[in-house]
Amino acid sequence: MCVCVCVCVCVCFAEAEKAAARSAGLSVQGQVQLLAFCVFEVIVGIFWPSMMTMRAHYVPEELRSTIINFFRIPLNLFVCIILYNVSGFGIHTHTHTHTERKHRGLHACAYTAIHASETPSGAQKKAEIRP
């Protein structure tokens, strides 16, 4: 799989070089960004199958979804905090009042809580499958 991805990356860069030679297509900065994007995609393409293999090997199937959901709690809290304070990052397009930010943060927390509670555990999935 890694060989296939590397070949795709090489072909992509060869085409980008041809396009840049024909016209003022990609600048050097654009080529660096394309390279960084392709490297990121290769790393993600290697990471997730490896992670799923290790998860299947080390985490028992009966407890897998429960354990994974417990590890999502800190991530969800982090996302809620970031969404609540997004106006402090300087990337917003208009000024939000404190009430609007609080509403947005609470909405993000509620959305996260609803979707986290909808994920059935492994035992529930097995019970649903059996008649």
For position 30, what pLDDT does the model report? Answer: 87
Contact 73, 55 (CB under 8 A): no
For position 25, what pLDDT does the model report? Answer: 74
Q: What is the DSSP string of 21-44?
A: HHSS-S-HHHHHHHHHHHHHHHHH
Contact 101, 87 (CB under 8 A): yes
pTM for this prediction:
0.41
Contact 119, 65 (CB under 8 A): yes
For position 91, what pLDDT does the model report? Answer: 64
For position 39, what pLDDT does the model report? Answer: 95
CA-CA distance, 51 to 60, in Å (whole number)?
A: 14
For position 129, what pLDDT does the model report? Answer: 60
For position 93, what pLDDT does the model report? Answer: 54
CA-CA distance, 14 to 38, in Å (whole number)?
A: 13
For position 71, what pLDDT does the model report? Answer: 87
pLDDT tens series, the chain, 131 aa: 554 455 555 555 556 566 555 556 778 888 899 999 999 999 999 999 999 999 999 999 999 989 889 989 999 999 999 888 887 777 655 555 656 666 666 666 666 667 665 555 555 555 556 55
For position 77, what pLDDT does the model report? Answer: 93
HSE at residue 109, side-chain half, CA atoms within 13 A, is 13
